[in-house]
Structure 1
Amino acid sequence: MLSPSLFHKIFGAAFFLLTCYAQGNLAGIPSVPDFTHLPEDGVDEGFLPGIYFPSFVDNEMEDIILQLEYQISRLEGVLRLEGKITASGGKIFATNGKAADFYTTVQKCKQAGGSIATPRNQGENAAILYFVKQFNKYAYLGIKESLIPGKFHSLNGAELNYTNWYLREPSGKGKEECVEMYTDGTWNDKKCNQNHLIVCQF
């Protein structure tokens, strides 16, 4: 059985990707309902989007949950097979294969219940790199330049404990506020108005 945390992450990634298949391009996968929000880490085991289950659930409800978990696991398999999701360090990364500027990418990921991909270690960097190589497109990361030119932090303001800058980067010194990933996995500071591959994390 999937853990509640992994279940919710897969569900969020699946919701993000299924919005791109509204016309039923993925055979055999039903459309998903319109949820007002998606779950985050640390939610109760009895939580599903838009539904609250008490701590005790009867057998019928347990069967429904098991069926949902089974459908999600099948969907995860399809998405992995199509190269639409990867996972590392408890995160699930997803792409719809489309490109957008930095701010549009942030918005699209937020609308899907996730956030723009922000690698915290080499494994997560490699998970994002998989998409960058597959689509042969650079991707923006959830990292921005601070008020101090040349100093970068994650979008929530936290300092970066992991970086993978290309040689002699960052070099923009206030003129290039966003960060892109090259097709070799290294990073470069860049202006935020370029269209790069959308990669979200859940």
Structure 2
Amino acid sequence: MHPAGKKNVLLLLNVNEFELLIPSEFENLGPIGLLDPKVRMGLADLKHRLSRLEGVLALKGIISKAGDKVFASNGKTVDFAAALQSCERAGGTLAAPKNEEENKAVLELAKQYNQYAYLGMRESETVGQFKYLDGTSVKYTNWYPNEPRGRGKEKCVEMYTDGTWNDRVCTVHRLAVCEF
């Protein structure tokens, strides 16, 4: 308690949101509560700045967000292997929409650059069945009517600028959209 009878209150970053906490509540926060108050304030400031930066990038059409995911593109078109490599170098992977919201977020970038985009999935050994790059089965799909129809010859997936998908050979150049 402050000598004048007032509680000391500090701004603290608590994983996903800002909270006002009194010092006695820090012990319930685990390791973050043990940090020096200046470090906690620095973390809160950093989170605020990152949030603003995300807003600027979204405004410029460089990124789009869906849930906890951020999707980004540099606007370059490359083959599938190069797209995957560039995303991995940046610390992400190729965008692989798992629901309508994520599909719309990737679509925003495809429209922004007016390019078809590669998606992070490939046809499995079983013709007509597609898997995410981590090997799990694709559950959400948004195929263009009568697709996929590559019959094992078109192993990659592209997104059209209307948000629907098509199976495609992996050597054509498409927009690289990364997921983080």
1:170-195 C-alpha deviation (Å, 9 max, x unpaired): 11111110000011111000011111
Gaps of 5+ in 2: 1-11, 18-28
Structure ID, larger Rg? 2
- Matches for 1:60-79 after TM superposition, within 5 Å: 60-79=38-57
User: How far did 1:5 drift?
Assistant: 6.3
Q: Which residue of 2 aligns with 1:40?
A: none
Q: Which residue of 1 aligns with 2:171?
A: 193
Cα distance between partner residues in 2 of 1:65 and 1:96 = 28
Change in CA separation of 1:108 and 1:81 when aligned onto 2, cut-off 3 Å? same
Cα distance between partner residues in 2 of 1:89 and 1:168 = 30
User: How far did 1:63 drift?
Assistant: 2.1
Cα distance between partner residues in 2 of 1:189 and 1:183 = 14
Change in CA separation of 1:143 and 1:171 when aligned onto 2, cut-off 3 Å? same
User: Contact 2:118–2:157 (CA<8 Å) still a contact in 1?
Assistant: yes
User: Contact 2:13–2:40 (CA<8 Å) still a contact in 1?
Assistant: no
What amino acid is the match of 1:64? G
Cα distance between partner residues in 2 of 1:199 and 1:117 = 6
Change in CA separation of 1:112 and 1:4 when aligned onto 2, cut-off 3 Å? farther
State the number of aligned residues.
158
Cα distance between partner residues in 2 of 1:77 and 1:180 = 27
- Matches for 1:144-159 after TM superposition, within 5 Å: 144-159=122-137
What amino acid is the match of 1:109? C
Cα distance between partner residues in 2 of 1:62 and 1:2 = 6
Q: Relative to total residues, which structure has the larger strand share, 1 or 2?
A: 2
Q: Which residue of 1 aligns with 2:112?
A: 134
Change in CA separation of 1:123 and 1:68 when aligned onto 2, cut-off 3 Å? same
Cα distance between partner residues in 1 of 2:75 and 2:38 = 39
Q: Does 1:166 align with 2:144?
A: yes
Gaps of 5+ in 1: 7-44, 47-52
- Matches for 1:33-48 after TM superposition, within 5 Å: none
2:70 is matched with which residue: 92, 104, 111? Answer: 92
Q: Does 1:181 align with 2:159?
A: yes
Change in CA separation of 1:65 and 1:140 when aligned onto 2, cut-off 3 Å? same
User: How far did 1:101 drift?
Assistant: 1.1
Q: Percent identity?
A: 49
Cα distance between partner residues in 1 of 2:45 and 2:14 = 14
1:36-87 C-alpha deviation (Å, 9 max, x unpaired): xxxxxxxxx99xxxxxx87611012112212211221221121011011111
Between stretches 131-140 and 67-76, larger displacement belongs to 67-76
Question: Could you list the runs of 4 or more consecutive aligned residues of structure 1 that deviate by over 6 angstroms after TM superposition?
Answer: none
CA RMSD of aligned residues (A): 2.2
Q: TM-score, normalised by structure 2?
A: 0.80
